[in-house]
Amino acid sequence: MNMENQSATADPQLQQFIEIESQKQRFQQLVHQMTEVCWEKCMDKPGPKQDSRTEICFVNCVERFIDTSQFILNRLEQTQRSKGSFSESMSE
């Protein structure tokens, strides 16, 4: 067994921890990006209280951002699957 295979299979708990931390980081980046986009779009003049128009704008912006992000993720997954099945069919 070479060194690469040992490190890749050595500690599944470590791999799981790294994956979870990576997911947390991606989530934090997404929240930061969403906050920035929606703030720029909806916040005309910061004040002590939001008016209902601003609040509705934020809600709609966040919902559209989430919908769009989910659509893109689904599309990327479909693309990866179709590339994988295309590669498999080419190798047969």
What backbone phi and psi angles, to 5 degrees, belong to 87? -65, -40
Q: Which domains does the chain have, with CATH numbers?
A: 25-89 (1.10.287.810)
| C-beta of residue 34 within 8 angstroms of C-beta of residue 63 | no
Burial of 51-86, coded b for 16+ CB within 10 Å and e otherwise, reads eeebeebbeebbeebeeeeeeeeeeeeeeeeeeeee
Q: What is the reported pLDDT for 1?
A: 45
Write the single-letter amino acid at 61: C
Output Rg (C-alpha) for the chain, integer angstroms. 21
pLDDT in tens, 5-50: 555 556 888 988 998 898 889 888 988 998 999 999 998 877 788 8
Percent of the chain with pLDDT strictly greater than 90:
28
pTM of the model: 0.58
Contacts 24+ apart (CB under 8 A), 47-56: none
> How many Å apart are CA 76 and CA 70, to the nearest integer?
10
